[in-house]
Amino acid sequence: MTSNISIPPPGRKVPPISVEQTVNKTALMFSGGIDSTAMLYRQLKDTQDIVYAHHINFVNSEGRASCELIAVRNIIEYLQKNVRRFRYSESTFVWPGKYYIGWDIITAMYIGSCVTGNIIEEDRRNASSKETQICYQIAIGDTKDDFGSYQWKSPIAQSIFLTASLRQPWLDQKIPQIIQPTANMSKKDLIENLPPELYALTWSCRHPVVNIEHNSYKECGKCRTCEGLKKIGHFRNIEFSMEKR
Ligand SMILES: [Zn+2]
């Protein structure tokens, strides 16, 4: 077994190790659902990372973009006020196809590479950041339940993120790390560890039902996420006012 550690010869002074400040800059793709809300909450509460939350308005035939946006705006306000400050941005992906909508995670990871690319570029142009060692990260809100169900999508999405993070070959390649801070927790654990008032702000249903009389959206109770919440005893049958934004 060989070692790469070089020991200075006796009598020679060891140069002082320069201690640089290290900072994590973590981008999170934030939908306003339970998993990404719990991930964002924990990342703010349990780490010192500089956090950049990003929401994509997925405007498609499911009709959930408006509900998600109500949830997202309320959650952002709650977390900024009750936990700590962080950066927030939004983008919109409009897909008019009626029969096939694709996989959100695939789009989300491409947009994620744009979000982290923008953070890196912002730092490159900011001379003061040169004294700081920065670790760039993207956080994915997969839970323990996801592994074994749609796990096959994750490696594809991760490779899209890595490929889209490549820059022109003559530039310094800074590929952010992919982290999965909630991968060892089930959705049930995540829900039961969230402040109830924060959980109440989240929206999960994929096919909200518009209630014109109440000027509100209701959960459908039938889609994959509603069914999943019923299975773990956490279906709420909640209603969001359209004026809550
Ligand atoms: Zn539903």
User: What pLDDT is attached to residue 5?
Assistant: 47
Structure tokens at 91: 């983008």
Place of tokens 């006796």: 10
Residue 90 CB burial class (10 angstroms; 0-12, 13-18, ≥19): middle
Distance 239 CA to ligand 1 centre (A): 12
- Ligand 1 centroid – CA 217 distance (Å): 11
Q: What is the mean predicted confidence (pLDDT) over 95-124? A: 93
3-12, 26-35, 161-170, 222-231: segment of lowest average pLDDT: 3-12
* Residue 58 phi, psi (nearest 5): -90, 95
Of the pLDDT bands very low, low, confident and very high (cuts 50, 70, 90), residue 227 is: very high
Report pLDDT for 18.
53
What pLDDT shows up at residue 19? Answer: 52
User: CB–CB of 63/207 below 8 Å?
Assistant: yes
Q: What CATH number labels 21-203? A: 3.40.50.620
- Ligand 1 centroid, distance to 226 Cα (angstroms): 4
Å from CA of 102 to ligand 1 middle: 18
Cα(208) to ligand 1 centroid in Å equals 6
Report d(CA 123, CA 141) in Å as an integer: 25
Mean pLDDT of 64-92: 96
Output the pLDDT for position 162: 94
Ligand 1 center from residue 185 Cα (angstroms)? 22
Q: 139 pLDDT exceeds 70?
A: yes
Cα 114 to middle of ligand 1, angstroms = 30
- The DSSP call for residue 187 is H
Kindly tell me if the per-residue pLDDT of 240 is higher than 90: no
Q: Please state the domain extents for the chain.
A: 21-203
Which tokens in the block code for residue 244? 């809550």
Tokens of 227: 């069914």
The H or E element spanning position 160 is helix 153-164
Mean pLDDT (whole number) for 49-70:
95
What is the C-alpha separation between 144 and 152, in angstroms, rounded? 14
Instruction: Give the Å distances, CA to CA, from 198 to 34, 98, 140, 162, 228.
Output: 10, 33, 20, 32, 20
Residue 153 has pLDDT above 60, yes or no: yes
Report pLDDT digits (tens) over 188-223.
999 999 999 999 999 999 999 988 888 888 999 999
Q: What pLDDT is stored for residue 4 in this prediction?
A: 47
| Summary mean pLDDT of the chain | 87
Query: Token digits for 96?
Result: 């008019």
Q: Give the residue carrying structure tokens 């310094």.
A: 172
Q: What is the rounded average pLDDT of the residues 27-44? A: 96
CB 33 within 8 A of CB 72: no
The model's pTM: 0.86
- For residue 114, give the nearest of 76, 69, 167, 68 by alpha carbon: 167
Ligand 1 centroid to residue 228 C-alpha, Å: 10
- For the cut 70, the answer to whether the pLDDT of residue 130 exceeds it is no
Strand residue runs (E) in 35-169: 50-59, 87-94, 132-139
